[in-house]
């Protein structure tokens, strides 16, 4: 940390805004700032506008998002005056388009070209940024915008000896303007990412010989380029505004129909047909969006990966080369897939050779060419297509010092931390365009760029109109956004690849997910919400006033939020207070469409004697050889709905994960059989199952209980009744979102009483059906009221942040601990009452399902992991 910079004189800024970069982002920023009456200059290291499209002039360079989508939308005239000649325009055509925009809007007059920003320092006394360039100038501005690009800092070659090579060396990322003549040359290309895959077929056609040095093979799909197809052209011609608006709210910035089916919802023939349609679709999204679960389910991903490997095998003549070109060590889509023209077929040419660096790594570059561990390959030209220090490279290459002299590089030493990818705490008035933590490189970048530019300028306008001149993200807001970004990524397969999305391509770079995988539309919604809630997560100040609006914009787990949204769209009736038949029919209808849960070894339905007649049970037997420990399970449903099979998917999951025999008990329901019928049935069932453990295939004496919601209440009460009766022995209790107290005034009820499936009203009606008010203080109804919790089996109590029952569950865990019971409490962040049992629906709760199973294994083997009261 260096001393904060404080100006002596209180001089004003030279300009309202300094924008760094004059690519698509910097240019639009300049345009928009002017339109809103802000003075601004842009500083650009290149000699001219274009950014990516100025620097990357290698043969074959073109966009792989259709140009109709990959173009500005802010100026509708552009769509009329600019006709794209191809579906995926070439680099020269895109650069010409950018030049056209710069000229049309007279943008160059405010750009300083051939100038690099080297440092920027927040002047705390003056509330201004001091921006220093490589020409020695200092420009003082109020707001500082980094439009420096996600893929603008090339990665170092990392191959020893490059300087010794006597031939020519080129980088795809800074290709000479005059082009390169490969005729008659022996060319080596290092790298098979998007740049390599675009350049290789064209270099192969020109060069005498081409050697491709491949470290990791990439998935690529045919671009099927050509004239702009009607399905795109007509969108702009007939419904331009709607189409552009759809793009803004779409998943990845190009409006396309979303899939509804998962890979294994269809048979093999249909699966193949859909993959085949994706292969022929001529867009990356044609294949990535062929099913809903390709990026979340490893088996689904294996299916598409194998389909694509078969395509490679069918194109490449030499089976050994084909195998070398087949990616095998990461899921499809987790490293950026490519669109190509004749890439794989290029390896059938006699002048092209593939060197598999996984078998024979490069030792060094010599003056004659490239030396691998096996051979020396003489070359005239070496092309590095080795990629970029993505997303953070350009931001960190500027020496940025914020509040208190803190350097951005230090703040981000363990990975970038941002709020919405737009701002970072401690760096007031600094904005990033498509920064880490925003959809950026996982989207059509033009849509993301326009969104950020507009959000930022709206923010500046808001500050100005309200007499503020400083805006800064709060640490809470950015920390929780980072959590949300990680939560989203953790639901997907992205973290499984050593990709540049994860920072893995640059040695020493922290391994964290850089872009936001939650999608363009959902991201935009969060940004809108931040503004609508008074710039939530920001501190605005100026004119002696401070508007400190700390807060968290996304607290629910992403899949929980998606589930709630989907339910809202269904406009389901509110069944709280409805007759029980209605509640039961409603619950059964919702359960009908749920995923079935994993396979188990065997399912047996049976009956056992209860205090008032037989009770039904369902036994879930693991696939492994028995005998097994036994878990008696009590379903949820407010003592009013449900049966021995109502939590079937969860029981399967519990059985498969814990390798225990799970017996789900169909206890009597209220109002037909009110309190204390359910707990009496529960005790009788546990007793009978303990006595018949051997016949059921269980290990006598290895018995635990588990229950969810009202079932958690029964499990808790049964443990006390069994203790008092002196039988049966229970080695552990797992209480999932248990009802432990009839008091419905706790904060959890107030905070979470509506909108999270189990409502306060519904819970109230359950109690009304179950127990008259005068009975509710009975510890057999409200186990939290028991004064004698000592001597109970060790417990795991799971609660969820957005559950009305959260606080009574936590209170019960505390009460158990206070009574000397080994009780562990896990509170699930961002989850709701139904999350834990929603197998294959709420994947973010899979970790807690695993934890529950592991605790049960411990209970059943006599080594409980329970200990101190914790939450996590
Ligand atoms: P850039 O275009 O990278 O511009 C940033 C500018 O900032 C650069 O000109 C750089 O010189 C300048 N700069 C950086 N640091 C400094 C500094 N310190 N001082 C002065 N100037 C500085 N995205 C898609 O959505 N679809 C595609 O099909 C697609 N194809 C791509 C193809 C290639 C070859 C590459 C490399 C990227 C591609 N991208 C694509 C991503 C592409 O980077 C973005 O779409 C978009 O062009 C980024 O625009 P930008 O203005 O944000 O950044
Ligand atoms: P990239 O995807 O990071 O690919 C770099 C390639 O170089 C990888 O194959 C990498 O192998 C290899 N490599 C890196 N260092 C190496 C070394 N020391 N020795 C051997 N091999 C090495 O980079 P890119 O191709 O430039 O693309 C970057 C991104 O820009 C793309 O993902 C895309 O977003 C964008 N882009 C888009 C297009 C388009 O089609 N529109 C075109 C170009 C770029 P490893 O995988 O083993 O690290």
Q: Which ligand is nearest to the CA of 449?
A: 1
SS3 for 828? Answer: strand
Residue 868 has pLDDT above 60, yes or no: no
Is the CB–ligand 2 distance for residue 216 below 6 Å?
yes
Listed in sequence order, the DSSP H helices in 466-499 are: 475-490
pLDDT score recorded for residue 591: 87
pLDDT score recorded for residue 866: 40
Is the CB–ligand 1 distance for residue 254 below 6 Å?
no
Give the N- to C-terminal CA distance of the chain in Å, as an integer. 33
Is the CB–ligand 2 distance for residue 287 below 6 Å?
no
Rounded Cα distance between 65 and 445, Å, is: 9
Is the CB–ligand 1 distance for residue 283 below 6 Å?
no
Q: Is 429 within 8 Å of 445 (Cβ atoms)?
A: no
Number of H helices, E strands in the chain: 25, 29
Atom nearest to 58 CA in ligand 1: 34
Residue of minimum CA distance from atom 14 in ligand 2: 386
Rounded Cα distance between 292 and 353, Å, is: 38
Each residue of 697-719: pLDDT tens digit? Answer: 999 999 999 999 999 999 999 99
Each residue of 355-377: pLDDT tens digit? Answer: 999 999 999 999 999 999 999 99
Rounded Cα distance between 550 and 270, Å, is: 50
Atom nearest to 65 CA in ligand 1: 28
Q: How far apart are the CA of 389 and the centre of ligand 1, in A?
A: 12
Q: How far apart are the CA of 765 and the centre of ligand 2, in A?
A: 59
Residue 6 has pLDDT above 50, yes or no: no
Each residue of 375-401: pLDDT tens digit? Answer: 999 999 999 999 999 999 999 999 999
Answer with the residue of higher pLDDT: 683 or 289.
Answer: 683
**Tokens 């797992």 correspond to what residue?**
734
Atom nearest to 43 CA in ligand 1: 20
Rounded to an integer, the average pLDDT of 661-682 is 98
SS3 for 423? Answer: strand
Model confidence band, residue 870 (pLDDT cutoffs 50, 70, 90): very low
Is the CB–ligand 2 distance for residue 388 below 6 Å?
yes
- Residue 418 Cα distances to 397, 476, 547, 551, angstroms: 17, 11, 20, 14
Is the CB–ligand 2 distance for residue 372 below 6 Å?
no
Q: How far apart are the CA of 430 and the centre of ligand 2, in A?
A: 30
Is the CB–ligand 2 distance for residue 387 below 6 Å?
yes
Nearest alpha carbon to residue 825 among 848, 807, 786, 799: 799
Residue 177 has pLDDT above 60, yes or no: yes
Q: Which ligand is nearest to the CA of 338?
A: 2
pLDDT score recorded for residue 573: 86
Nearest alpha carbon to residue 208 among 378, 385, 356: 378
Q: For the chain, percent helix, then strand, then coil, each to nearest 5? A: 35, 20, 45
Nearest alpha carbon to residue 228 among 21, 54, 118, 79: 79
Atom nearest to 56 CA in ligand 2: 43
Model confidence band, residue 804 (pLDDT cutoffs 50, 70, 90): very high
Concatenate the DSSP letters of all residues of 276-288 into one string.
Answer: HHHHHSSSHHHHH
Encoding tokens for residue 205?
Answer: 């056609």
**Residues, the chain, total?**
872
Q: Is 673 within 8 Å of 650 (Cβ atoms)?
A: no
Q: Is 327 within 8 Å of 302 (Cβ atoms)?
A: no
- Residue 101 Cα distances to 28, 49, 680, 716, 772, angstroms: 9, 10, 77, 69, 74
Residue of minimum CA distance from atom 9 in ligand 1: 51
Is the CB–ligand 2 distance for residue 245 below 6 Å?
no
Segments of 183-261 assigned E as strands: 186-190, 209-214, 220-222
Is the CB–ligand 1 distance for residue 116 below 6 Å?
yes
- Residue 657 Cα distances to 600, 653, 845, angstroms: 10, 6, 14
Q: How far apart are the CA of 172 and the centre of ligand 2, in A?
A: 10
Rounded Cα distance between 161 and 785, Å, is: 76
Q: Is 128 within 8 Å of 69 (Cβ atoms)?
A: no
Burial of 711 (0-12, 13-18, 19+ CB in 10 A): buried
Rounded Cα distance between 754 and 749, Å, is: 8
Listed in sequence order, the DSSP H helices in 779-845 are: 806-818
Q: How far apart are the CA of 262 and the centre of ligand 2, in A?
A: 30
Q: What are phi and psi of 432, to 5 degrees?
A: -115, 145
Nearest alpha carbon to residue 813 among 797, 792, 800: 797
Atom nearest to 172 CA in ligand 2: 26
Neighbours of 590 (CB within 10 A): 14
Residue of minimum CA distance from atom 34 in ligand 1: 56
Segments of 99-243 assigned E as strands: 111-112, 117-123, 128-133, 138-146, 168-171, 186-190, 209-214, 220-222
Encoding tokens for residue 527?
Answer: 């940004």
Rounded to an integer, the average pLDDT of 39-52 is 98
Q: Which ligand is nearest to the CA of 335?
A: 2
Mean pLDDT, the chain, as a whole number?
Answer: 96
Q: Which ligand is nearest to the CA of 147?
A: 1
List residues bridging with 111 in a β-sheet. 42
Q: How far apart are the CA of 217 and the centre of ligand 2, in A?
A: 10
Rounded Cα distance between 398 and 430, Å, is: 13
Is the CB–ligand 2 distance for residue 385 below 6 Å?
yes
Residue 1 has pLDDT above 50, yes or no: no
Is the CB–ligand 1 distance for residue 63 below 6 Å?
yes
Nearest alpha carbon to residue 663 among 653, 671, 651: 651
Of 1-10, 19-28, 346-355, minimum mean pLDDT range: 1-10
CA angle 868, 638, 800 (to 5 degrees): 35
Model confidence band, residue 9 (pLDDT cutoffs 50, 70, 90): very low
Residue 871 has pLDDT above 60, yes or no: no
Would you put residue 377 in left (φ > 0), alpha (ψ -120 to 50) or beta?
Answer: beta
Q: How far apart are the CA of 150 and the centre of ligand 1, in A?
A: 6
Tell me 153's DSSP state. S
Each residue of 823-848: pLDDT tens digit? Answer: 999 999 999 999 999 999 999 999 99
Is the CB–ligand 1 distance for residue 46 below 6 Å?
yes
Neighbours of 185 (CB within 10 A): 18
SS3 for 313? Answer: helix
Rounded Cα distance between 763 and 641, Å, is: 12
Long-range CB contacts for residues 172-179, cutoff 8 Å, separation at least 24: 172/56, 172/58, 172/61, 172/196, 172/199, 172/383, 172/384, 172/385, 173/55, 173/56, 173/387, 173/388, 174/55, 175/55, 175/56, 175/57, 175/58, 175/61, 176/57, 177/57, 179/57, 179/59
Side-chain half-sphere of 652: how many Cα atoms within 13 Å? 16
Q: How far apart are the CA of 28 and the centre of ligand 1, in A?
A: 13
Residue of minimum CA distance from atom 12 in ligand 1: 21
Is the CB–ligand 2 distance for residue 386 below 6 Å?
yes
Element (H, E) at 1: none
CA angle 72, 75, 80 (to 5 degrees): 90
Atom nearest to 61 CA in ligand 2: 42
Atom nearest to 433 CA in ligand 1: 52
Rounded Cα distance between 632 and 524, Å, is: 46
Residues 6+ apart with CB under 8 A from 566: none
Model confidence band, residue 592 (pLDDT cutoffs 50, 70, 90): confident
Q: Is the dihedral of CA 630, 634, 635, 641 positive or negative?
A: positive
Rounded Cα distance between 193 and 816, Å, is: 57
Q: Which ligand is nearest to the CA of 58?
A: 1
CA angle 739, 744, 749 (to 5 degrees): 90
Rounded to an integer, the average pLDDT of 492-509 is 97
Neighbours of 788 (CB within 10 A): 11
676 upstream amide cis, omega within 30 of 0: yes
SS3 for 766? Answer: helix
Residue of minimum CA distance from atom 16 in ligand 2: 386
Is the CB–ligand 2 distance for residue 149 below 6 Å?
no
Burial of 409 (0-12, 13-18, 19+ CB in 10 A): middle
Is the CB–ligand 1 distance for residue 131 below 6 Å?
no
Residue of minimum CA distance from atom 4 in ligand 2: 193
Q: How far apart are the CA of 387 and the centre of ligand 2, in A?
A: 4
Residue of minimum CA distance from atom 43 in ligand 2: 195
Residue 865 has pLDDT above 70, yes or no: no
Rounded to an integer, the average pLDDT of 582-598 is 90
Each residue of 56-71: pLDDT tens digit? Answer: 999 999 999 999 999 9
Residue 4 has pLDDT above 70, yes or no: no
Percent of the chain exceeding pLDDT 90 equals 94
For residues 242, 245, 247 and 250, what is the CA-based torsion angle, rounded to 10 degrees? -110
pLDDT score recorded for residue 5: 36
Rounded Cα distance between 480 and 830, Å, is: 11
pLDDT score recorded for residue 10: 53
Rounded Cα distance between 663 and 620, Å, is: 6
Q: Is the dihedral of CA 158, 159, 161, 163 positive or negative?
A: negative
Q: How far apart are the CA of 274 and the centre of ligand 2, in A?
A: 28
Side-chain half-sphere of 702: how many Cα atoms within 13 Å? 24
Is the CB–ligand 1 distance for residue 25 below 6 Å?
yes
Q: Is 190 within 8 Å of 159 (Cβ atoms)?
A: yes
Answer with the residue of higher pLDDT: 591 or 481.
Answer: 481
Model confidence band, residue 795 (pLDDT cutoffs 50, 70, 90): very high
Q: How far apart are the CA of 13 and the centre of ligand 1, in A?
A: 28
Is the CB–ligand 1 distance for residue 23 below 6 Å?
yes
Model confidence band, residue 645 (pLDDT cutoffs 50, 70, 90): confident
Is the CB–ligand 2 distance for residue 192 below 6 Å?
yes
Tell me 441's DSSP state. G
Ligand 2 pocket test target in 324, 333, 387, 441 with most atoms within 8 Å of CB: 387
Each residue of 600-641: pLDDT tens digit? Answer: 999 999 999 999 999 999 999 999 998 999 999 999 999 999
Q: How far apart are the CA of 192 and the centre of ligand 2, in A?
A: 6
Residues 6+ apart with CB under 8 A from 273: none
Nearest alpha carbon to residue 735 among 806, 640, 657: 806
Atom nearest to 63 CA in ligand 2: 41
Q: How far apart are the CA of 257 and the centre of ligand 2, in A?
A: 29
Rounded Cα distance between 401 and 424, Å, is: 12
Residue of minimum CA distance from atom 36 in ligand 2: 194
Rounded Cα distance between 668 and 680, Å, is: 9
Is the CB–ligand 2 distance for residue 152 below 6 Å?
no
Residue 308 has pLDDT above 50, yes or no: yes
Is the CB–ligand 1 distance for residue 252 below 6 Å?
no
Atom nearest to 338 CA in ligand 2: 40
Q: How far apart are the CA of 250 and the centre of ligand 1, in A?
A: 22
Side-chain half-sphere of 120: how many Cα atoms within 13 Å? 32
Q: How far apart are the CA of 295 and the centre of ligand 1, in A?
A: 26
pLDDT score recorded for residue 864: 46
Atom nearest to 448 CA in ligand 1: 25
């Amino acid at each position: 940390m260096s001393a904060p910079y404080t100006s002596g004189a209180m001089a004003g800024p030279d300009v309202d805004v300094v924008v760094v970069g004059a690519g698509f982002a910097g240019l639009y920023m300049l345009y928009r700032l002017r339109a809103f009456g802000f003075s601004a200059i842009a500083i650009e290291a290149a000699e001219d506008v274009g950014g990516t499209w100025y620097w990357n002039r290698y043969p074959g360079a073109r966009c792989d998002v259709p140009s109709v989508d990959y173009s500005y939308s802010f100026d509708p005239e552009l769509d009329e005056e600019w006709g794209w000649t191809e579906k995926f325009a070439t680099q020269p055509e895109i650069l010409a388009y950018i030049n056209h925009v710069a000229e049309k809007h007279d943008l160059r007059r405010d750009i300083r070209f051939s100038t690099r920003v080297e440092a920027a320092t927040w002047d705390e006394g003056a509330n201004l940024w001091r921006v220093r360039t490589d020409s020695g100038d200092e420009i003082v501005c109020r707001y500082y915008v980094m439009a420096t690009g996600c893929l603008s800092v090339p990665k170092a070659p990392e191959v020893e000896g490059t300087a010794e090579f006597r031939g020519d060396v080129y980088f795809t990322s800074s290709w000479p303007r005059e082009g390169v003549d490969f005729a008659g040359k022996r060319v080596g290309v290092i790298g098979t990412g998007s740049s390599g895959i675009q350049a290789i077929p064209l270099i192969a056609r020109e060069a005498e010989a081409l050697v491709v040095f491949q470290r990791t093979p990439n998935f690529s799909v045919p671009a099927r380029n050509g004239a702009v197809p009607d399905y795109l052209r007509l969108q702009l011609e007939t419904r331009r505004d709607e189409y552009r608006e759809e793009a803004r709210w779409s998943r990845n910035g190009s409006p396309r129909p979303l899939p509804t089916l998962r890979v294994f919802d269809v048979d093999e023939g249909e699966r193949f047909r859909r993959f085949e349609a994706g292969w022929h679709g001529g867009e990356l999204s044609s294949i990535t969006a062929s099913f809903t679960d390709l990026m979340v389910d490893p088996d689904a991903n294996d299916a598409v990966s194998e389909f694509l490997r078969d395509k490679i095998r069918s194109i490449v003549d030499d089976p050994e080369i084909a195998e070398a070109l087949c990616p095998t060590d990461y899921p499809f889509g987790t490293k950026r897939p490519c669109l190509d023209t004749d890439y794989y077929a290029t390896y059938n040419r006699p002048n092209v050779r593939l060197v598999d660096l996984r078998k024979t790594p490069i030792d060094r570059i010599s003056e004659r060419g490239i030396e691998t561990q096996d051979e020396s390959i003489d070359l005239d030209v070496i092309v590095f297509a080795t990629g970029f220090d993505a997303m953070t490279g350009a931001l960190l290459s500027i020496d940025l010092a914020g509040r208190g002299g803190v350097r951005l590089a230090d703040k981000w030493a363990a990975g970038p931390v941002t709020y919405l990818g737009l701002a970072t705490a401690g760096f007031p008035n600094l904005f990033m365009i498509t920064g880490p933590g925003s959809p950026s490189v996982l989207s059509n970048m033009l849509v993301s760029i326009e969104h950020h530019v507009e959000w930022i300028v709206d923010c500046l306008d808001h500050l100005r109109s309200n007499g503020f001149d400083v805006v800064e993200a709060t640490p809470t807001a950015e920390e929780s956004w980072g959590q949300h970004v990680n939560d989203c990524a953790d639901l997907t397969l992205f973290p499984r690849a050593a990709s540049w999305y994860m920072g893995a391509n640059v040695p020493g770079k922290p391994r964290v997910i850089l872009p936001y995988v939650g999608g363009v539309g959902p991201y935009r919604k969060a940004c809108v919400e931040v503004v609508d809630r008074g710039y939530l997560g920001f501190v605005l100040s100026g004119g002696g006033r401070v508007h400190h609006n700390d807060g968290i914009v996304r607290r629910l787990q992403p899949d929980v939020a998606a589930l709630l949204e989907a339910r809202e769209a269904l406009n389901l009736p509110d069944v709280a207070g409805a007759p029980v038949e209605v509640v039961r029919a409603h619950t059964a209808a919702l359960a009908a469409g749920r995923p079935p849960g994993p396979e188990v070894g065997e399912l047996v339905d049976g009956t056992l004697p209860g205090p008032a007649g037989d009770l039904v049970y369902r036994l879930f037997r693991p696939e492994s050889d028995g005998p097994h420990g036994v878990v008696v399970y009590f379903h949820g449903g407010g003592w009013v709905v449900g049966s021995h099979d109502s939590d079937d998917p969860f029981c399967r999951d519990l059985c498969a994960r814990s390798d225990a025999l799970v017996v789900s008990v169909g206890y009597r329901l209220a109002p037909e059989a009110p309190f204390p019928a359910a707990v009496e049935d529960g005790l009788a069932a546990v007793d009978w199952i303990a006595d018949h453990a051997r016949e059921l295939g269980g290990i006598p004496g290895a018995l635990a209980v588990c229950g969810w919601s009202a079932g958690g209440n029964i499990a808790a009460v049964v443990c006390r009744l069994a203790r008092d009766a002196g039988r049966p022995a229970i080695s552990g209790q797992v209480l999932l979102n248990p009802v432990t107290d009839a008091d419905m005034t706790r904060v959890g009820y107030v905070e979470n009483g509506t909108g999270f499936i189990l409502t306060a009203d519904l819970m109230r009606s359950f109690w009304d059906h179950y127990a008259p008010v005068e009975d509710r203080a009975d510890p057999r109804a409200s186990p939290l009221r028991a004064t004698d919790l000592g001597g109970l089996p060790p417990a795991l109590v799971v609660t969820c942040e957005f559950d009305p029952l959260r606080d009574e569950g936590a209170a019960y865990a505390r009460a158990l601990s206070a009574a000397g019971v080994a009780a562990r409490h896990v509170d699930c962040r961002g989850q709701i009452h139904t999350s834990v049992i929603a197998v294959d629906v709420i994947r973010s709760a899979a970790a807690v399902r695993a934890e529950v199973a592991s605790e049960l294994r411990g209970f059943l083997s006599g080594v409980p992991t329970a200990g101190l009261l914790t939450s996590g």
